[in-house]
Amino acid sequence: MSEPSTAEFRVRVDAVFRTESGRILATLIRLLGSFDLAGDAMHDAFSAALQRWPAEGFPANPRAWLISAARFKAIDAIRRRTRFDASQGHIADALYNTEPVPSANDDELPDDRLKLIFTCCHPALASDVCAALTLREVCGLTTEEIARAFLTTPPTIAQRIVRAKAKIRDERIPYEVPSGAELRERIAAVLAVVYLLFNEGYTASSGPSLTRGELSIEAIRLDRVLLELMPEPEVIGLLALMLLHESRRPARVSAEGELVLLEQQDRSRWNHAFIREGIALVERALSTRRFGPYTLQAAIAAVHTEALTPEATDWRQICALYAALLAMQPSPVVELNRAVAVAMHEGPAAGLGLIDALFARGELRDYHLAHSARADLLRRLGRREEARVAYEQARALAKSDAEIRYLKKRLHELG
């Protein structure tokens, strides 16, 4: 048997980096109390692994090896800095004397990741900052990958991350999972960031589609981590919601890159493994009787996916779910969705009345989907001229290329 080459070791170390760096970093941040120190120490440990593993052999527990090596690298780094700043000497000593890393026992490690998610999603940070920070520190994406996903430049993202870390350091935002009432409050912020990540990857049909799809997958993976540690109804509900939406991705865009609406989608192309898992999760969340808006939205998505054809959709149940959602989370967008469901259940005139009532209250007048939904109802009522005006309004307000193309197609069909 020949000795594994350095190149083979590099491949194996890269694989460890991909699968373990998130957890290692989270543990180091807890041990060292600093993002920068932890990040440096982890990268130094991976460099050390590349140098030492070919000679010493692949360790039995690479993660424990790397955490231990990183901890000593950090102690060295702090001692070196003491040359410039004597006040840091005691930190190195304290660190040297702290409880070493739990070796093979994994129980504590996922908890570190959860702490890190809560730190990255702290309410002191703006939500776009939270998303960028979570993607880099928890999901292990590079600044450049995050910039591509958000269709912006790497320096913009780098700046957000630098500022967020400075804020965490300066305001001494702790690395911990809050408890009691604060936990409930903060879970909402964490789930909101997870859902924001998902939607970044799901709704925007412009830009490099592959990278954006990966964002949705990352959001689902993140929620799975949360669920493992915190089986709260809304954590379950959000996972169900994302899986049920994600299940439709293969049918959402045509071969020509056009957006395909739910009722026109080829349902055989839906991901049925995701649907099965999503529906089981919805049922689990509903059965707790402590569910919230994500679970209700997931339940609505589940009703849609359970219908074999668009005509078989149980609109009565969807209307009831929207009414419950509206009672829990009043919002004009939810009202609009309910209006569309009511139009399907009771007829276009009933739905149109609800949308017109929204507009009369001054709501959603700049929201292209409201005009587009209204146009669809007018078209179904045979009021072609009014439908045309409404489609034109929608087109003027729409931003994504795929949506504009869809609206042009509808206008063309009106003749």
Q: Of 117 and 157, which has the nearer Cβ to another protein?
A: 157
Residues forming beta bridges with residue 253, ordered by sequence position? 259
Please say whether the dihedral angle defined by the alpha carbons of residues 57, 63, 66 and 67, taken in this order, is positive or negative: negative
d(CA 19, CA 14): 9
Kindly tell me which of 141 and 190 has the beta carbon lying closer to another protein.
141
Site for another protein contains 158 (CB under 8 A): yes
142 is a contact residue toward another protein (CB under 8 A): yes
Shortest spacing between CB 222 and another protein, in angstroms = 19
> Is residue 6 a contact residue for another protein (CB under 8 A)?
no
List, in order, residues 6 or more apart from 189 with CB less than 8 Å away.
121, 122, 123, 130
Select from 94-102, 151-159, 247-255, 339-347 the region that touches another protein (CB under 8 A).
Answer: 151-159
Residues numbered 67-106 forming contacts with another protein, rule: CB under 8 A? 73, 80, 83-84
What six digits make up the tokens of 213? 């799809």
Give least dist CB 143 to another protein, A.
4
Determine, following the binding rule CB under 8 A, whether residue 258 of this chain makes contact with another protein. no
Q: How far apart are CA 336 and CA 217, in angstroms?
A: 28
DSSP 253: B
Q: Amino acid letter at 134?
A: T
Q: Which of 101, 91, 93 is nearest to 42 (CA)?
A: 101
Distance of CA 126 to the CA centre of its chain: 15
Q: Shortest approach of another protein to residue 144 CB, angstroms? A: 6
The DSSP string of 317-344 is: HHHHHHHHHHHHS--HHHHHHHHHHHHH
Q: Is the CB of 156 or the CB of 317 nearer to another protein?
A: 156
23 near another protein, rule: CB under 8 A: no
CB of 289 to another protein, least distance (A): 44
- 131 forms part of the interface with another protein (CB under 8 A): no
Candidate segments 149-157, 207-215, 376-384, 405-413, binder of another protein by CB under 8 A: 149-157
Size of the site for another protein (CB under 8 A): 23
User: Any residues with CB less than 8 A from the CB of 222 and at least 6 apart, and which?
Assistant: 117, 134, 138, 139, 194, 197
Question: Does 161 participate in binding another protein (rule CB under 8 A)?
Answer: yes
| Residues in contact with another protein by the rule CB under 8 A | 36, 39-40, 43-44, 47, 50-51, 73, 80, 83-84, 136, 142-145, 154-155, 157-158, 161-162
